[in-house]
Amino acid sequence: MGTEDSSDVAEAKTGAGRVTLGFQAEVRQLLHLMIHSLYSNKEIFLRELISNASDANDKLRFLALADPALLGNDPELKIRIIFDAKNRTISVSDNGIGMSRQELIDNIGTIARSGTAEFLGQMTGDSRKDAQLIGQFGVGFYSAFIVADRVVVETRRAGVADSDGVRWESDGKGEYSIAPIVRSERGTRIILQLKKDEVEFSDGSRLRSLIRKYSDHIGFPVTLADAEKPQDQPQTVNSATALWTRSRSDISDPEYRELYKHLSHDFTDPLTWSHNKVEGKRQYTSLLYIPATAPFDLWNRDAPRGLKLYVQRVFIMDQADQFLPLYLRFVKGVVDSADLPLNVSRELLQQDASLEGIRTALTRRVIDMLDKLASNDADGYAKFWSAFGQVFKEGLVEDSQNREKLAALLRFATTRSEGEKQDQSLDDYLSRAPKDQDRIYFILGDSHAKAIASPHLEQLKSRGIEVLLLTDRIDPWIIDHLEEFRGKKLQDVGRGELELPQGDGAVADKALDDENRPLLKKIRRTLKDRVDTVNVSRRLVDSAACVVASEQDLAPRLRRMLEASGQKVPQTKPILELNIRHPLVARLSAETDNERFADLSNIVLDHALLAEGAPLENPAGYVKRMNKLLVDLEKNKP
């Protein structure tokens, strides 16, 4: 005892074995940005330090399952906060796992998350925007430097000798020192020397209300004591029961939100959550959250994902990824199982067949939660979609059991959307479609601009038929897995025959084909190396021609993507479709000179390819033919 005296911040800086080290460049940058951008939110440092202390206690309790000796004669895990107004200090202590020297260097001098440098590079200097960004990143320990101009960490790993303690100290400017100490207590104490104008944080009633506000959900007692009144008993300030073990009706929304922040290391409020206790073959409690913003490393395959697993309120592991499918990897939360063994490991979880039932149930919960969000809070759902829509779409491929439900939750940009916004559901689409329309039309494109300008849409547009514009990278794959929705087939307007609902605008049928058969045949013969066949188009209004893929062929865009990724894709020829009402086609039909007919046919095809955004196989040939045509034009001038 006796080391719990916060005045030793001012201790002499020299000592045996003390070394000074530099922060990793990213840490330095983060510290700088954080102090500036989070200033208006500075009180969160306390939540972050208590959150870390709680994690440290959780980890020790877990290790002690296998090795109870780790708890020694100090088995009651808790978090202690001592403030000292006179010396302007505050300390946060836990009696958890503690850190070794190397762990201190790795955890507090370094950020190991890959992509951090790029992420920090996106910071704008506008503190409001940056605060949002840093919030997604999770600020953690470093937030202490928002209110402190010096921070000391004294720590000792559970289970090692008193003389193996370590002391870390920094002013948050670029370097830190680290030195061995003798520490009689296990765990970690963080001591903040508050900046001159942050005295409010060494005030007891201010601290009490902050702990209640931010850390009431923490499952360990958090006590508060005044260093100037050593005779007073420390008081427990929080309710010290894990939030999810309480009944839903006793928990307020702000409490749910604070637990989210502790679990997710994200400090933006979640969009929604779902808290359930299941008493079936397997007994467990789950609390699942939908975040509002995507973490910067959402697309990194190694980024942390999964739920926090507890067994009978004992923390077992972070990032248990067996409880939800990959396409729901953005969901954060806790599962607390009543019947898994306490010594369950990742490997055991993988082999546990009965886990499948929990996974199925949790998956359904998330889908229901999203369904509710979509019906009750359109803005919230739009936020969800823009943050996670791309990931969620993978579900169409991954989760065939829930396909129809997932499909109803998809949002698309269509020819009726506001700009490029993905704001329409398939049900919205169907509710507007004419009665006799038995298909859902879509087009695939590299970009919104290209898709909406595609000649393939001309006929549909002129008849007021809505088309989904699919321009996300993953769309060609996912759409393949959605053959129909509510009994209506999905049809790619860039492929095969286009069947449109009958009606006034219906384009002529067989007769038109028969009438034009000689012309179609002649063009096909001329272009036989380049096209599969030539048809009368039902898609076009203004353009002379377009190319479409045959029903069996890969969509052109999928083909280009596969080729770009180095895969061998069998070469197939497109179908050329002609707009029989176009003057250029009339001109072609009237052309008697064979050479000129061939040139014109090739140009019509090249233009159709260009309009698709497809590369020409022989651009020089195209230019030559085009030039010849222009010269002829000049010659034939009256």
Interface with ligand ADP (CB under 6 A)? 48, 52-53, 56, 94, 96-97, 99, 107-108, 138, 140-141, 188, 265
Smallest gap, in angstroms, from Cβ of residue 91 to ligand ADP? 11
Task: Check if the beta carbon of residue 227 is closer than 8 Å to that of residue 82.
Answer: yes
- For residue 173, the number of C-alpha atoms closer than 13 Å in the C-beta half-sphere is 4
- In sequence order, what E strands does 435-589 have? 439-444, 468-470, 484-485, 488-492, 533-536, 545-548, 575-578
Q: Under the phi-then-psi rule, with left for phi > 0, alpha for psi from -120 to 50, and beta for the rest, what region is 115?
A: left
The site partner of 276 among Mg ion, ligand ADP, none (C-beta below 5 to 8 Å per kind) is none
Selected binder of Mg ion within 34, 46, 47, 52 (CB under 5 A): 52
Smallest gap, in angstroms, from Cβ of residue 93 to ligand ADP? 8
Selected binder of Mg ion within 140, 291, 306, 574 (CB under 5 A): 140
The site partner of 97 among ligand ADP, Mg ion, none (C-beta below 5 to 8 Å per kind) is ligand ADP
**3-class DSSP assignment, residue 112:** coil
- For residue 277, the number of C-alpha atoms closer than 13 Å in the C-beta half-sphere is 10
Alpha-carbon span 256 to 248, nearest angstrom:
10
Which of 99, 548 has the CB closer to Mg ion?
99
State the Cα torsion 139-144-148-151 to the nearest 10°. -120
The site partner of 333 among Mg ion, ligand ADP, none (C-beta below 5 to 8 Å per kind) is none
Smallest gap, in angstroms, from Cβ of residue 293 to ligand ADP? 16
Alpha-carbon span 126 to 292, nearest angstrom:
21
Say which residue the tokens 């506001």 belong to: 418
Angle made by CA atoms 282, 285, 396, in degrees to the nearest 5: 80
Smallest gap, in angstroms, from Cβ of residue 106 to ligand ADP? 8
Alpha-carbon span 374 to 346, nearest angstrom:
34
16-24, 137-145, 295-303, 353-361 -> range binding Mg ion (CB under 5 A)? 137-145
The site partner of 477 among ligand ADP, Mg ion, none (C-beta below 5 to 8 Å per kind) is none
Distance of CA 398 to the CA centre of its chain: 17
The site partner of 576 among Mg ion, ligand ADP, none (C-beta below 5 to 8 Å per kind) is none
- Which residue minimizes CB distance to Mg ion? 140
Which of 64, 546 has the CB closer to ligand ADP?
64
Which of 144, 545 has the CB closer to Mg ion?
144
Alpha-carbon span 516 to 284, nearest angstrom:
70
Structure tokens at 43: 């009180």
- Using CB under 5 A, count the residues that bind Mg ion: 2
Which of 52, 188 has the CB closer to Mg ion?
52
Which of 140, 494 has the CB closer to Mg ion?
140
Distance of CA 439 to the CA centre of its chain: 32
Residue 135 engages Mg ion in binding (rule: CB under 5 A):
no
- Which residue minimizes CB distance to ligand ADP? 140
Which of 155, 193 has the CB closer to ligand ADP?
155
Smallest gap, in angstroms, from Cβ of residue 606 to ligand ADP? 56
Smallest gap, in angstroms, from Cβ of residue 136 to ligand ADP? 12
Binding site for Mg ion (CB under 5 A): 52, 140
